[in-house]
Structure 1
Amino acid sequence: MSEAMVDVVLPCLNERGALPWVLSRLPEGYRAIVVDNGSTDGSAELAATLGAVVVREERRGFGAAAHAGLLAATAEFVAFCDCDGSLDPAQLPELFAPVLDGSADLVLGSRQPEPGAWPFHARIANVVLAWRLRRLTGERVTDLGPMRAGRRLELLSLGLEDRRSGYPLEMFLKASLRGWRLIEIPVPYAPRTGKSKVTGTLRGTLTAVRDMSAQLKAAAASTGSGPVRDSAGNE
C-alpha cells in the first residue's frame, strides 16, 4: 500500500499523552485523520506537527467525531481506531486483509484485554451486549470494539445518524441488516493512556448503554419480533 490507500479515523479528546505513540505505529500507506472533539491539552496542535490531518468537530460525542473523520476521508479504505494507546494501529493491515481479498465487507477488532485494560463493569456490559447482538442478528460477534476496517463509500452508504456512543453499534447493525459479511479478528487491548471518558467511569458506561439501547430497539423494530436467523436456520 504505497500512497494513502487507507485513512485512519482517530477521534480525539485530550489524548496528547498517547498521540506520539499512536501516530508512530501507523503502517506505511495509512494516513491519520485526527478528529479533535474539543481538546484543551493541545492534542490538535501536536497531531498536526506529527503529520496527521486534523479535523475539528465542535459537536461533542464519539459518533460526531468518528463521522466527521469518515466524511473527511478520501481514500478507498477507511479504518477506525481509538486514539488513547489501548489499540495498536500496527494491527490494521491484518484487519484489512479480508476486505482486500473480498472475503469480508466489515472487519471488527475483537479486543483481547491485557491485565488492567478493561474495568469490570465495562467488561460485563460488553458481554451482555454481544449476547444481545448474537440473538438479534445471528452474527457471531463477541465484542463491539472500536477498531474496524471497511470501504469508505460502503460505510457512507449506511447513512449513520448516531453522534454519541451508539455510533459503532449503529454501524454494525445496519451493516448486518444489509447482509454485509462481518467478521472479527482478535487484537491486543492494553491499558489506555490517561483517563477514559466513557467506559472508565460508571456514568460513562451507563450513558453508552442508554445510547446503544436506542439502537437495539430500532434494529429490533426493523427486523420484527424474535432473533434474525441465518440461512441454516440458526439463531
Structure 2
Amino acid sequence: MEIDVVLPCLDEESALPWVLERMPAGYRPIVVDNGSTDGSAEVAARLGARVVSEPRRGFGAACHAGLVAATADVVCFMDCDASLDPRQLPRVSDPVLAGRAELVLGRRRLSADASWPAHARLGNAVLAGRLRRRTGTPLHDLGPMRAASREGLVALGMADRRFGYPLETVLLAAAAGWRIAEAEVDYLPRAGRSKVTGTVRGTLRAIGDMRRVMAAQGSAR
C-alpha cells in the first residue's frame, strides 16, 4: 500500500535531492514549503514530490498542512535536512501497518559524525522523561520521524502550529488510548545548521513551546 511522507521544509534546497532520491517505493513525498527563500519548492517538484505551500510560519503549521494534504491511510513525518534516512521509514511505518501500534516514533541513534548539540539532547531527554511519567508511554526521544493513521491523526485535533505540535500529538494520542512505540533510526549529519537545535536560543524556543503544550494539555484533563 502507498504511504504519504510529510516533509516540512524551510530552505532545504541542498538536502532535498539526497532525501527524495532515497524515498522507498510506495512512499509518496509531500514537501510542505514553509516560506523558503531558496529553490526548495522547485527542486522538490522537479524530483517528483508533491509540493504544498504553507505561508504561515511554524513547524506545526507545516506538519498539519501536509497531514491535511495527505490521502494515504498511513502517514509518516520526517525532517528533510538529510539528518534522517528515508530508507528507514519502514521501521516506523511497519508496526502501524501490522496493527501492533497506532503511533510509532523514531528513537534517534547518533552516528559518529552527527550534530546533536548537548543542550538539545538534554532538553529532549528532560521532556521525554516528563512524558513517560505523565502518560506511561515508553518513549525516550521526541524524534521527528514518526508514523500513524491519517484519519486517526486528524481526529486527534492538534491545535499547536509551532514546535509543540509533535509533543501535542503524543499527548493526545496517549489520552485517546493509542498504543505508542519506538523504533531505532540513525541520526546523521544534517545539511546546514538546524533552525531549532543549531542554537541555544532555538532550542529554548522549542522547549518553551513544548512546555506550553504540556501545561495546556494538563489543564484540559
8 Å Cα contact 2:11-2:36 kept in structure 1: yes
- Give 1:163's aligned amino acid: R
1:96 Cα deviation (Å)?
1.4
Q: Aligned to 2:149, which of 126, 151, 168?
A: 151
Instruction: Please give the per-residue CA displacement for 1:69-125, whole angstroms capped at 9, x wherever unaligned.
Output: 000001111000100000011111121111111110000000111234201100111
CA distance in 2, matches of 1:24, 1:81: 15
Q: How many correspondences in the alignment?
A: 220
CA distance in 2, matches of 1:70, 1:100: 17
CA distance in 2, matches of 1:78, 1:138: 24
Instruction: Show structure 1 runs of 4+ deviating over 3 A.
Output: none
1:44 Cα deviation (Å)?
0.3
CA distance in 2, matches of 1:191, 1:129: 23
- Give 1:29's aligned amino acid: G
Q: Does 1:160 align with 2:172?
A: no
CA distance in 2, matches of 1:60, 1:67: 12
Q: Does 1:130 align with 2:109?
A: no
Other structure's SS at 2:194 match: coil
CA distance in 2, matches of 1:155, 1:113: 28
CA distance in 2, matches of 1:195, 1:177: 35
Other structure's SS at 1:51 match: coil
| Aligned residue in 1 for 2:68 | 71
Instruction: Please give the per-residue CA displacement for 1:16-40, whole angstroms capped at 9, x wherever unaligned.
Output: 1100000011111111000000111
8 Å Cα contact 1:10-1:35 kept in structure 2: yes
1:150 Cα deviation (Å)?
0.9
8 Å Cα contact 1:7-1:79 kept in structure 2: yes
8 Å Cα contact 2:91-2:184 kept in structure 1: no
Other structure's SS at 1:102 match: coil
- Give 1:53's aligned amino acid: R
Percent identical residues: 62
- TM-score, L = length of structure 1: 0.92
1:221 Cα deviation (Å)?
2.3
CA distance in 1, matches of 2:211, 2:25: 38
- Give 1:212's aligned amino acid: M
CA distance in 2, matches of 1:175, 1:219: 12
CA distance in 1, matches of 2:116, 2:82: 13
Structural mapping, 1:3-22, within 5 Å: 5-22=2-19
| Aligned residue in 1 for 2:28 | 31
- RMSD of the TM alignment (CA)? 0.9
1:135 Cα deviation (Å)?
1.1
- Give 2:205's aligned amino acid: T
8 Å Cα contact 1:136-1:220 kept in structure 2: no
Other structure's SS at 1:165 match: coil
